[in-house]
Amino acid sequence: MQSDIIKQARIEIQRKSALNAEKKKRKDKIVRLFFFFITCICSLIIVIVAGFIIIKGLTPFFKIYTENGHTGSMSFSYFFTGLQFNHGYDQETGTFMYGVGFLVVNTLYINLISYIISIPTSILTSLFIARIAPKPLKKIISTGVDLLASIPSVIFGMFGLGVIVPLVRSIGRAMGLAGTSGISLLAGAIILALMSMPTMISVMVTSLNAIDESQIKASLALGASKTQTNFKIALKNAKSGIFAGIILGIGRALGEATAVTMVTGSPIYGITANPFDPTVTLTTQMLLAIGEATPNSLNYDARFSAGLVLLVIIILINFLLNNIKDIVCSIDRKPSKAIIFLKQLFTNFRNPCYDLKKLK
């Protein structure tokens, strides 16, 4: 009798625990699905953003707008070749002329100048921080650079207006360009460089700190000076990190709007050739005269088209740079014959005693 009760109790417990396990499994499944669902929502954000930009950016080409007594949609050809953002209405083709061609050229120009300033500076500064500076100084400068990275862009814009613009103004006057007021493409490029440098430096320092110490020691043991080791071994080993830093910094610089708007002015026309002239880029044009733009007007929608162009440029440049990084940083790939030939040419040119070396 007792064993029966015990047996029954055991069966009960087993059944209950099986049920419990079932419940737990079901709960697990539900919770798992819940988390999966939320992750999908999060990843849908990019789809939403890209979708809206594409749809709203392409609409002006197809939708008919009525403004100022004229009807039509946006002109396709002027969009890519135009030299003025709002060029009015073309009576012949019946389209509004909004151009972003010149904005693209200006954007690339200002970014190029800022990279010329920021890339060498970041590489050398990160080399300094990681390998040359004594320990206490290293910590201070690292913290300083981190702080710089988190300063909001409006503050950079204000710093630009207060310090960089008068600086560029005095440089321009000293160079003889009498009409410069400091509000210029150069000031914008300097501000962009200042903003992208901390990002670049922190990534580069991390990668320089993580290189293999044995390689360094080996190089020093073989008689190379400290500087040679730094430049030829350390930098080469940290190549992928340096490139990653550059790509990150470039991404930040391309998308910057508020700081650049404050220091580059707002001319209405044309490609800026002289770096001391005011300029207008994709991002600043999107922020300009926001009071004029009421939603669903052509002016407002044209900004989305400009935003679409900006996105395409960013994706293209990222793609290009990632590919270059892969080519440059793959150590096992044999350099192509062309590169070997160029290298030989270069060494021959530099060192007339090359033959003597070969003898050794």
Partner 1 sequence: MKKTLRFVPLFACLTLLASCGGESTNTSNTGASSSQDTTVDFDTTQEITPLTRDTNSGTREAFFGHIDLEDAASDDSLLTTSASVVASNGDMISNLATDEYAIGYFSFDSITSATDEGVKVVSFEGVTPSEDTIVSGEYSLTRHFNYIVRNDFGGDSVKETIVDAFVAYMGTAEGLNIIQTNGGVVDPETINNAPTWAEISANYPGISDDHSDVTINFGGSTSVEEIARQLSASFSTLAGNFIAHHDHTGSGAAYSGTQGDDAGTLDIGFLSREFNDSEVPAENTSGVICTDAVIIGVNEANPLTNITADQCHNIYALDGTIDTWDDILG
Partner 2 sequence: MTLKSLNNEAIFEKKKRFRERVKDFFSVTSTYIFSSFTLIALIAIIVFIFSRGYSTLSWDFITGDYNPTTYVIRTDTESDADRLDNTFDYTPREGEYFSSLWGIGFMDEENNVGEKIVIISYVDPNANINNIVDADNNPFTIEAGTTVNSALLYNDEGRVSIRIDKGAQEVAKRFDECPYILQMSLTTGGDGIRGSFISTLYMIGITMVIALPLGISAAIYLGVYAKENKITKMLRNMIDMISGIPSIIFGLVGGIIFLPIVGGNGNLISGSLTMAFMILPLIIKTTQESIKTIPKSLSDASLALGASQTQTTFKVILPNSLPGILTSALLGISRVIGESAALIYTSGVAILDTVSPTQGSATLAVHIWSLMSGETQNYEASCAISIIILIIILVLSIIIKLISFITERKKRRRG
Residues 294 to 313: which contact partner 1 by CB under 8 A? Answer: 294
Q: Pick from 185, 192, 194, 302: which binds partner 2 (CB under 8 A)?
A: 194
Tokens matching residue 315: 């994706």
Nearer to partner 2, 51 or 94 (CB): 51
Residue 289 interacts with partner 1 (CB under 8 A)?
Answer: yes
- Reduce the secondary structure of 292-314 to three states and give it as a string: CCCCCCHHHHHHHHHHHHHHHHH
Q: Pick from 19, 49, 316, 328: which binds partner 2 (CB under 8 A)?
A: 49
Among 189, 347, 172, which Cα is nearest to 256's?
Answer: 189
* Secondary structure letter of residue 173 according to DSSP: H
Shortest Å, Cβ 124 to partner 2: 4
111 binds, among partner 1, partner 2, none (CB under 5 to 8 A by kind): none
Nearer to partner 2, 334 or 360 (CB): 360
Cβ contacts of 238 within 8 Å, gap of 6 or more: 204, 207, 208, 210, 211
Residue 147 interacts with partner 2 (CB under 8 A)?
Answer: yes
Among 77, 71, 124, 125, which Cα is nearest to 97's?
Answer: 77
Residue 173 interacts with partner 1 (CB under 8 A)?
Answer: yes
Task: Count residues near partner 1 (CB under 8 A).
Answer: 34
Shortest Å, Cβ 92 to partner 2: 31
Q: Binders of partner 1 among 41-80, rule CB under 8 A?
A: 68
Contact window for partner 2 (CB under 8 A) among 64-72, 73-81, 257-265, 324-332: 257-265
Shortest Å, Cβ 278 to partner 2: 15
What element of type H or E holds 95?
strand 95-96
Which amino acid makes up residue 246?
I
Q: With contact defined as beta carbons under 8 Å apart, do 323 and 297 qualify? A: no
36 binds, among partner 2, partner 1, none (CB under 5 to 8 A by kind): partner 2
Q: With contact defined as beta carbons under 8 Å apart, do 309 and 104 qualify? A: yes
As beta bridge partners, residue 95 has 73, 90
Shortest Å, Cβ 245 to partner 2: 14
Among 296, 281, 302, which Cα is nearest to 96's?
Answer: 302
| 95: phi then psi, degrees, rounded to nearest 5 | -130, 155
Q: Pick from 266, 312, 314, 317: which binds partner 1 (CB under 8 A)?
A: 266
| 50: phi then psi, degrees, rounded to nearest 5 | -60, -40
Q: Pick from 86, 240, 258, 318: which binds partner 1 (CB under 8 A)?
A: 86
Q: Which residues bind partner 1 (CB under 8 A)?
A: 68, 84-88, 97, 133-134, 136-137, 162-163, 166-167, 169, 173, 178-179, 181-183, 265-270, 278, 288-289, 291-292, 294
